[in-house]
Amino acid sequence: MPEAWRTQNLTLLMMMAWAWLATGHLHESEQGLQMIEQTLGSSTSALLADIDKLESKVRNGLIEVVAIRMSRQTAVSFNASERLTLCQRILPFLVPEETIYLFTPLFVLRPVALFNMGLSYQLLGQMEAAVQAFTEAMEQGKAFGNVHIVASSLGHLAEIQIEQGQLHQAA
């Protein structure tokens, strides 16, 4: 893809990456995300290293890239500690006041980050923190109409309650 086209069409690339993800075209989605990173002149690893030093457009574009990548990875294919750190770093930017974004308003991604924090806490054995993150993800998912986050959060909450011998609450 020509450089000029990519630079002028970051929003379209982001839309395409989400669409490819939703239709199971993971390779194409990743290629789109890599083009976005290349056009922004940075990568998602910069969010861990220099998040406060990044220009708003770059930082927020990379946050959207991270959200897509988190949405396609399963709990067994990511490093829980690294994912937790990344979510904690981006969470302060997932607010309505952040008005610069490529496609998805950043505050709408907040339940996705909270859900991933819940997964990370659960895998790290920090069940109290996992319950808190899943509960908040579920509540915010309801507010934004994200049925996938609501259902997934409820499922993980029930799983934790079953593991803790709280079958009556899990039902």
Distance CA 137, CA 19 (A): 23
* 3-170 belongs to CATH 1.25.40: yes
104 contacts 14 by C-beta, under 8 angstroms: yes
At 54, give phi and psi (nearest 5°): -80, 145
Which regions in the chain score pLDDT beneath 50? 76
**Rg of the chain in Å (alpha carbons):** 17
Confidence (pLDDT) at 7: 56
- pTM, full prediction: 0.84
8 A C-beta contact, residue 156 and residue 121: no
How crowded is the C-beta side of 87, counted as CA atoms within 13 Å? 27
All structural domains of the chain with their residue ranges = 3-170
Q: What is the pLDDT of residue 2?
A: 61
Torsion from C-alpha of 28, 31, 37, 38, nearest 10 degrees: -140
- pLDDT for 4: 62
Q: What is the pLDDT of residue 22?
A: 86
